[in-house]
Chains A and B, each alone.
Chain A
Amino acid sequence: MATPVKVHGPPMSTAVSRVLACLLEKNVDFQLISVNMAKGEHKKPEFLKIQPFGQVPAFEDGGVSLFESRAICRYICEKYADKGNKGLYGTNPLAKASIEQWLEAEGQSFSPPSSVLVFQLAFAPRMKIKQDQVVIKQNEEKLSRVLDIYDKRLGETRFLAGDEFTLADLSHLPNTQYLVGVSGRGELFTSRKNVGRWWNEISSRDSWKKVVDMQKKSA
């Protein structure tokens, strides 16, 4: 029987891998459907029907069609609340409020500079695009300031939203994996004691190891 949950996009996409990590944490079966981005499949009318901005991932679960990785993750956590990691999106309103706060911090403060760095350091070379050193330096400075705040926070709590691993931490995995693993800018994270400890913990989770494996296999 075909599973109703479908994720459209390549595992090496940071946004796609965010959704994959969430599905694996929640033990939800899914089908990964490839999108040939090199051939511009994501800009074609067929794909634009399920993602009007022409980006990956697109997501389907039976009759529900969604996009935007963080919205997809929230949906997965709500719909499959009783499966897998039950505390991923909080089990009470106060826990949820804290998770939402740090999920927004990821989206608004961490993601902008780290996404630029991931593109410049990990993807541009592969795509034979020239790196912009000024842009790299500016965004390293921005990210450093954000990570200073994270280091203080992670000295007070084990994970960002509290003492349990949540969606807020998970959301950071994709970009950080590239920066620590591939780009040689790992010391931004590892030189900060609490951030380094946090990164080791969250990246060692089975669900994330599976995602990294999927990325390697599809490369």
Chain B
Amino acid sequence: MKLFSISVLFKGATSSKPNLLKAAYDLSSFSFFQRSSVQEFMAFTCSLIVERSASGSRSSVKEKDYMCHTYIRDDGLSVVVVADSEYPQRVAFSLIDKVLDEFTRLIDSSFWGTRSPDTIHYTGLDPYLAKYQNPREADALTKVQAEVEETKVILHNTMESLLQRGEKLDDLVARSEQLGDTSKAFYKTARKHNSCCKMM
């Protein structure tokens, strides 16, 4: 499960071509010579998708082995996340929401239509990219779900061992009962020897 890139674009109401505001790429899985071309390709794909998607919509586009998850907000700000096909869609969309919120908070909306990646000072994309490489840990919902299910499995095992314990306890009861009976017989024999047959 890998995340390849996160890019923030702005699609103005008037302009047809979306404006790339900021992008972060993780191309470590590609060979060195392919990297630049892959990056170009991804940037182009993102912008194309944003151009063709309606405003206020979420979509996931499948492309070879990659999935591009997109969300275009009503005000035109959009984020595209390129991931492999195994990456859970829900986590990708929650990542998109987070990035959108933070970006909106930090960068003023007036810059969206005009600026370019070099002029916008936003460094939050790379840490997000790194963090969400492992979706299970990053997304709170997935983590809680996994932990709760693990707990359930552990509890089931506990129940089973408790049942076994019950069986062993029953066994112990039987044996201790036997012990008691044997010791009682022993006691009686000893007492019998003591009372009668003195000269034995």
Does B associate with A? Answer: no
Interface residues of A (CB under 8 A from B): none
Interface residues of B (CB under 8 A from A): none
